[in-house]
Amino acid sequence: MSPKQLEDMYDAVIVGAGAAGLSAALGALRSPAIEEMRASGIEPRILVISKLQPLRSHTGSAEGGIAASLGNVEHDDWHWHYFDTVKGGDWLVDQDAAKLLAEYAPQTVINLERQGVAFSRTADGHIAQRRFGGHTADFGGQPVRRAAYAADRIGHQILHTLWQQCVAAGVTFAEEWYVTDLVLDGSDDGGAHVAGVVAYDTHSGEVHAVHARNVLLATGGAGRLFHTTSNSWDLTGDGMALALAAGMQLEDIEFVQFHPTGLAHTGILLSEAARAEGGVLRNASGEAFMERYAPEHRDLAARDVVSRSIMAEIDAGRGVADPKDPQGPKDCVWLDLTGIDRDHMEAVLPQVVETIREYAGIDPATDWVPVKPTAHYTMGGIPIDTDGEAYRWTADVDGVDGRTIVDGLFAAGECSCVSVHGANRLGGNSLLDACLFGTRAGTRMAERIAEAPAADPTNDDVADAATEVDSLDTASTLRKRELNELLTAAKPADDDSAAENDAYGATADGSAADDNPYRLLADLGRVMEQALAVRCSAQTIEAARRTLHDDLMPRAVALHAHSDVAAFNQEVTAIWEARHLVMLADAMLDATDARHESRGSLMRLDYPARDDRRFLAHSMTALASPAAQHTDDERLHDVRWQPVHIVDFPPKDREY
Amino acid sequence: MTGMDNALATVTVRVNRFTPRPERERAARGGSPFAKARRGGSPFGGGSASSRNRRPRGKHWTQDYTLTVRPEDTVLDCLLTIKRTLDPTLAFRYSCGHGMCGSDAVAINGTPTLLCTAGVKDWAKRPNQFAQTDAEGFRHTGDDATDEAASGETPADGGAANDLGVIELSPLPGFPVQRDLIADIDPMLDQIRKLKPYLQADGVLATTAEGKVDVFEYLQNPEQLTKYEMLSNCIACGVCEGSCPVFAGGDAFIGPAALIAASRFVNDSRDTALDTRLDAIDTADGVAACQSVRACSRHCPRGIDVGEEMWQIVAKVRER
């Protein structure tokens, strides 16, 4: 679906159509501000641009649940959820944001139910809830059933329901369009505002300048930075890279959560629900080793704790090989589900069972399943406040907040960082973050829209049109030129062989001339996996940076398409994605390098302890201006440190 | 190491490819005053834009790729290897890679199914010279297994023991092809949208024992959930539509996917629009067009017995 024609000016463009993007669209359209505007006869002009048809979004793969202290199964209290979120994030959580998350979680979940989500139910018809790692009663006490679920398909249910509601609300989509540029106007040091985005329609192969007063980025995470990931092929960090390229900072991007139970080398996720229902991790000798690492919560300790425990077992030589690759490295452990009754397993873990049967060829009711930590979630992202507005941070001076909002720029979901996840996200909090802060961002955006709607006939656009059109149109022209270069490079000498280019395979010898973005992505994944997966050190970071600068970055620049037909030319999109990922990888390495401590998901072998004195702070990483770039080393980024908002819970040791 | 080598095999992936005519050729045509007039409004109907989109012109051909694989690999694994090492121009939709996103429905050996759930060992067929197109582009048909000529033609050179054979791929049937294995499934999504695929509940807020209004979920017991839970698992991949002989080739029949979406709400105890929903599908191009062939059930990746559900919804409409 594509818009019949583009408006000259949009009130808002939302980039991405997963839980966060769709929640933002609905949040805006249902807000009192927009209702009032419509009552006076002015329709909002909102466009959702997405590189996938919305139902293909990765939200649909979330399995386990969405956390909320509904207390439907046992007594619960949102203050406990608030505490668990802060503790889970190893105190690198902005507590004002986490408080909102926990307090409004029940409302968010109930609203999802009332829109149609087919939640699993208790016998008396309420939303059913299950245990999830790190969620406790009484501020760190016994595990509590807090995750509302829909069998093990909660993400699918939420994604489809939100899309259905967008159909009801008549939301306009530009599907399978890829945003290549975020364009901001005004000074970097304040007064910056959104001009719009440049978008590439993959169907027609055309580049469009899309003018907008507000832009919300909701493009999801960047799991494809790593070789083994649970993320779909489309999680290429686009929104974060767009923001970085536009001169924004990224917050806390050194924190990447590795889900402990990826299905061996496939990276496909086996939901935490498998352990919640009684699954046990075992090493090569069959020992249930989590008892040693987290005596109280054992297999349901926070994800980073479990991932590190698995790695420790593997390092100690107690790992097992993926049975599909028996001669390969012993980099897996067992997940033992045989203690769960077969019928019960089929009823509550259908997706887990199906995945294991289909992709490992194992019957989990009788055999142990090989698992390995898999890159799962990027905690950091585009810095936003609790209304979803993106900001730049300089320095807090004399108690004055150093945040400067970029007018009209919003973000939500995994690509953003309101900092509710801190250094490590709790299970069930990602869908909650996307839906809750997505809705809040939409509501705030609606207030801005109502102040000066694009469709208001009395609204004089000429003044800002004269200045804004320039920079966006310039960016669009540059992008069109680049597209032409990418395509003309593909033009073969013999026109007839353009399509049936059998020779490509024959001449593919790994030389730069025959490079392609898919190969580059695979190489990048291996480099990042070695450098940062679960553990790292200055040494691994430096080695990766060198490969990135000497090999991958020049290759990314040199990429070109191998077909000169623009329509549905997936390689063109893949080239831009690869460039986004390479850019983001470099920023992630620099942010990781700058943090000399271990916290949450970040384990630095050379700095194994948490250091609250120096690093109870968010890293704010931006491309350094050329003048300010370090001359003595290769780092291209400038990292600043923004203090964490501590409200109710002073930092403590994080023990499970 | 040698143990691993034994597990490897070769497979030939045969792709029915299509490249739309490059834009610049169209633009050149647009320069003609006749072409312009045609674009502006065809005398043969108002849908000139959509019919042009749905019948793109371009080049069709078949291409073989031979790769080394593990028999347990998926067909999607094969295509990703092709993109990375042989031919980055091959176009096909894919995203999650494990059967949840619904992007990658194609026809494998003529049968609609998902690339990421199809195992190489389950779909590869031994080579058969009559299955290959001849110089004119025609293909002989017949039963592979009993065809003597085929086994006689099996190449006797080295890799034959580990050669799994051929997997043939085409875009999802019943939909216009856009490029290679990418089909335009918008007609299906339009049909789903037409049937108001969203919960229409009473909106009444529950009250507490003291009579105070409280924002609660709608209550729904597990038995009520069971009535539509399976239907709500539909991922709109289009496999059922591509399998349906009534749906194929035209867009009159509203199709199994839209009817599953309608049925999902018809069977949801929270929904209050039952009558209008049944009215909307009680038409010649609605339930009446279903011929109970039940081909739609065979490869539903979510395990929905689509044919049976069609039968149930037809019965519901009739029994009113």
* B51-72 residue pLDDT tens: 444 567 899 999 999 999 988 8
Q: Please check whether residue A164 touches B, CB under 8 A.
A: yes
Closest CB from A56, A151, A500 relative to B61: A500
Mean pLDDT of B244-254: 82
The answer to whether the Cβ–Cβ distance between A165 and B198 falls below 8 Å is yes
Residue of chain A whose alpha carbon sits nearest to that of B73: A359
Partners of residue A164 in chain B, C-beta under 8 Å: 197-199
Partners of residue B233 in chain A, C-beta under 8 Å: 153, 156
Query: What is the distance between the alpha carbons of residues A281 and A293, in angstroms, rounded to a whole number?
Result: 12
Residue of chain A whose alpha carbon sits nearest to that of B92: A570
**Digit-coded pLDDT (tens) for B276-312:** 999 999 999 999 999 999 999 999 999 999 999 999 9
Q: What is the CATH number of the domain that holds A319?
A: 3.90.700.10
Partners of residue A168 in chain B, C-beta under 8 Å: 196, 198
For residue A627, give every residue at least 6 positions away whose Cβ sits within 8 Å of its Cβ, in sequence order, or none: none
Say if A380 falls within a structural domain: no
Mean pLDDT of B10-18: 97
How far is B1 from chain A, CA to nearest CA, in Å?
7
Say if A43 falls within a structural domain: no
Which strand (E) or helix (H) includes residue A243?
Answer: helix A238-245
**Digit-coded pLDDT (tens) for A319-366:** 999 887 788 889 899 999 999 999 999 988 988 998 898 888 889 999
pLDDT value at residue A323: 84
- Of A462, A558, A547, A458, whose CA–CA distance to A513 is shortest? A558
Structure tokens at B174: 């019943």
| Cβ atoms of B8 and B1 closer than 8 Å | no
Q: What's the domain count of chain A?
A: 1
**Digit-coded pLDDT (tens) for A452-500:** 999 887 765 544 555 544 799 999 999 999 999 999 998 665 444 444 4
- Of B309, B231, B219, whose CA–CA distance to B270 is shortest? B219
Q: Please check whether residue A329 touches B, CB under 8 A.
A: no
Partners of residue A564 in chain B, C-beta under 8 Å: 22
A·B CB contacts under 8 A:
186
Say if A419 falls within a structural domain: no
Q: Please check whether residue A200 touches B, CB under 8 A.
A: no
Query: What is the distance between the alpha carbons of residues B182 and B180, in angstroms, rounded to a whole number?
Result: 6
Partners of residue A153 in chain B, C-beta under 8 Å: 233
User: Cβ–Cβ contacts within 10 Å for residue A542, how many?
Assistant: 15
The answer to whether the Cβ–Cβ distance between A324 and B72 falls below 8 Å is yes
Q: Please check whether residue A219 touches B, CB under 8 A.
A: no
Say if A290 falls within a structural domain: yes
Q: A554-560 — which CB contacts under 8 Å span 24+ positions?
A: A555/A512, A555/A515, A555/A520, A556/A520, A556/A582, A558/A512, A558/A515, A559/A486, A559/A515, A559/A516, A559/A517, A559/A520, A560/A485, A560/A486, A560/A489, A560/A490
Helix (H, G, I), strand (E, B) or coil at A363: coil
The answer to whether the Cβ–Cβ distance between A500 and B17 falls below 8 Å is yes
Partners of residue B63 in chain A, C-beta under 8 Å: 500, 502
* Candidates A55, A111, A353, partner chain B, best to mutate (most B CBs within 10 A): A55
- The least confident of A222-231, A484-493, A567-576, A634-643 is A484-493
Q: Is A551 exposed, middle or buried (0-12, 13-18, 19+ CB in 10 A)?
A: middle
- The least confident of A18-32, A236-250, A301-315, B106-120 is A301-315
Which CA distances in Å does A354 have to A131, A153, A268, A455, B104?
Answer: 22, 12, 12, 50, 18
Query: What is the distance between the alpha carbons of residues B106 and B33, in angstroms, rounded to a whole number?
Result: 39
Closest CB from B96, B178, B185 relative to A568: B178
The reply to whether A303 belongs to the active site is yes
Q: Please check whether residue A116 touches B, CB under 8 A.
A: yes
- Of A255, A203, A189, A263, whose CA–CA distance to A225 is shortest? A255
pLDDT value at residue B199: 97
Say if A346 falls within a structural domain: yes
Pick the more confident residue, A125 or A271: A125
**Chain centroid offset of residue A106 CA:** 23
Phi-psi region of B99 (alpha: psi -120 to 50; beta: other; left: phi over 0): left
**Chain centroid offset of residue B114 CA:** 7
Say if A148 falls within a structural domain: no
Q: What is the ipTM of this complex?
A: 0.92
The answer to whether the Cβ–Cβ distance between B19 and A110 falls below 8 Å is no
Q: Name the A residues in 63-102 with CB < 8 Å from any B CB.
A: none
How far is B147 from chain A, CA to nearest CA, in Å?
30
- Of B269, B218, B219, B215, whose CA–CA distance to A114 is shortest? B218
Structure tokens at A48: 């959702």
How far is B146 from chain A, CA to nearest CA, in Å?
30
The answer to whether the Cβ–Cβ distance between B89 and A107 falls below 8 Å is no
Which strand (E) or helix (H) includes residue A581?
Answer: helix A570-594
How far is A286 from chain B, CA to nearest CA, in Å?
26
The answer to whether the Cβ–Cβ distance between B98 and A160 falls below 8 Å is no
Closest CB from B88, B215, B228 relative to A562: B88
| Cβ atoms of A84 and A75 closer than 8 Å | no
Banded model confidence at residue B35, pLDDT cuts 50, 70, 90: very low
Q: Please check whether residue A497 touches B, CB under 8 A.
A: no
Closest CB from A153, A167, A518 relative to B197: A167
Phi-psi region of A138 (alpha: psi -120 to 50; beta: other; left: phi over 0): left
For residue A625, give every residue at least 6 positions away whose Cβ sits within 8 Å of its Cβ, in sequence order, or none: A638
Q: Name the A residues in 395-454 with CB < 8 Å from any B CB.
A: none
Say if A353 falls within a structural domain: yes
How far is A531 from chain B, CA to nearest CA, in Å?
23
pLDDT value at residue A634: 74
The answer to whether the Cβ–Cβ distance between B220 and A125 falls below 8 Å is yes
Query: What is the distance between the alpha carbons of residues A655 and A87, in angstroms, rounded to a whole number?
Result: 9
Q: Please check whether residue A558 touches B, CB under 8 A.
A: no
Q: Please check whether residue A227 touches B, CB under 8 A.
A: no
Residue of chain A whose alpha carbon sits nearest to that of B18: A499
A309 pLDDT exceeds 90?
A: yes
pLDDT value at residue B18: 97
Task: Report the percent of chain A where pLDDT is more than 70.
Answer: 93
* Candidates A1, A56, A119, A175, partner chain B, best to mutate (most B CBs within 10 A): A56
**Digit-coded pLDDT (tens) for A196-214:** 999 999 999 999 999 999 9
* Candidates B64, B217, B264, partner chain A, best to mutate (most A CBs within 10 A): B217
pLDDT value at residue B214: 73
Query: What is the distance between the alpha carbons of residues B287 and B264, in angstroms, rounded to a whole number?
Result: 15
Q: Torsion over CA of A105, A254, B96 and A579, rounded to 10 degrees?
A: 130
Query: What is the distance between the alpha carbons of residues A565 and A490, in angstroms, rounded to a whole number?
Result: 9
Which domains does chain B possess?
2-21+56-178 (3.10.20.30), 185-318 (1.10.1060.10)
Query: What is the distance between the alpha carbons of residues A435 and A105, in angstroms, rounded to a whole number?
Result: 9
Q: In which domain, by residue range, is A353 found?
A: 260-372
Query: What is the distance between the alpha carbons of residues B82 and B167, in angstroms, rounded to a whole number?
Result: 14
Closest CB from B95, B217, B233 relative to A110: B217
- Of A16, A64, A420, A364, whose CA–CA distance to A230 is shortest? A64
Closest CB from B17, B23, B222 relative to A123: B222
Say if A548 falls within a structural domain: no
Instruction: Give the active site residue among A131, A153, A224, A303.
Output: A303
B3 pLDDT exceeds 50?
A: no
- Of B255, B258, B257, B274, whose CA–CA distance to B199 is shortest? B274
Cα torsion angle, B98, B99, B104, B106, sign: positive
Q: Please check whether residue A224 touches B, CB under 8 A.
A: no
pLDDT value at residue A412: 98
Partners of residue A107 in chain B, C-beta under 8 Å: 215
pLDDT value at residue A221: 97
Cα torsion angle, B142, B148, B152, B158, sign: positive
A386 pLDDT exceeds 90?
A: yes
